[in-house]
Structure 1
């Protein structure tokens, strides 16, 4: 593998955990070959205010704080899979998930995006479409979809 920076889209789902483990495997392989790889784990929480522009429903400060606290908990959960010595950055961003993941990949000059084929889904997937599908269709870099 010739990747130097990998982004993992992580939402706490079983497939995002599997995607994270795959990215960590790439890191281990690269380290064995003396090619260090940086890993960024990004979580983009679903917020109704981003579905149709300004707001779908008015959110209070407390609701926003609860959402961000939950999002931080999901990122903290990802830490349990990461070895302490790994070169990993944890990123929490808000916005439409696919667009935000792609923007972050471009900003940090990633070479690869790794994500599960399906996330937590539900109403978000019904309204927005599959995040993984949108990322694959719009990405300028390789995307590895883990099933």
Structure 2
């Protein structure tokens, strides 16, 4: 048998990272990975961006002057709270599909795709699973594809699941 042929023992020992943001595309990717790849253990990763960075990015894109704002306010960052709940949803979905998940959250400093790539390197994963919104045309010009950037920068195989086909309108 060839050294490159997968074996049952090699498959079980492999590490699969599933990028999970709570979107229908991420849920679909997780479900497809469980069905087609049949992993046993998975790493569920939710990348999040603090509210103060989201606000700064939005203001800088608008051309308005950015107000001074300190992220050390009272209480927990709402983006972190939401990301923690999203990650928990991913773990629950993975468990319902018969998988053994471990939860990971990573704060992204620059972009979601780079946070996924960095986490994949740190966790030394063998495969990354991601959904995609399949944005194209004018909208795709302004919104970079997370899955495309992961593929180009991660150095490991990536299993990308497209969005579900939309139902044609009955009026058409």
For the aligned pair, the TM-score class normalised by the smaller chain equals 0.7 to 0.9
| Pair 1:126–1:87, CA change in 2 (3 A) | same
1:1-147 correspondence to structure 2 within 5 Å: 3=11, 4-26=14-36, 29=38, 37-47=40-50, 49=53, 58=69, 60=71, 61-62=73-74, 65-83=77-95, 86-95=99-108, 96-118=111-133, 129-147=144-162
Distance 1:25 1:62 in 2: 43
Larger Rg: 2
TM-score, normalised with respect to structure 1: 0.74
Aligned length: 134
- Equivalent residue of 2:21, what SS? coil
- C-alpha distance after superposition, 1:98-132 (max 9, x if no partner): 1110111111110100001129xxxxx87661111
Deviation at 1:79, TM superposition (A): 2.7
Give the TM-score taking structure 2 as reference length. Answer: 0.64
2:91–2:102 CA contact under 8 A, matched in 1: no
Cα distance in 2 for residues equivalent to 1:50 and 1:126:
20
Considering Cα pairs closer than 8 Å and 6+ residues apart, tell me whether 1 or 2 has the greater RCO. Answer: 1
CA separation of 1:106 and 1:59: change in aligned 2, threshold 3 A: same
Confirm or deny: 8 A CA contact 1:118 1:132 kept in the other structure: no
SS at match of 1:82: helix
Runs of 4 or more above 4 Å deviation: 50-53, 125-128
Q: What is the CA distance between 1:74 and its match in structure 2?
A: 0.7
Is the Cα contact below 8 Å between 2:47 and 2:107 reproduced in 1? yes
Structure 2 spans left out of the alignment, 5+ residues: 1-5, 61-65, 135-139, 163-172
The residue that corresponds to 2:167 in the other structure is: none
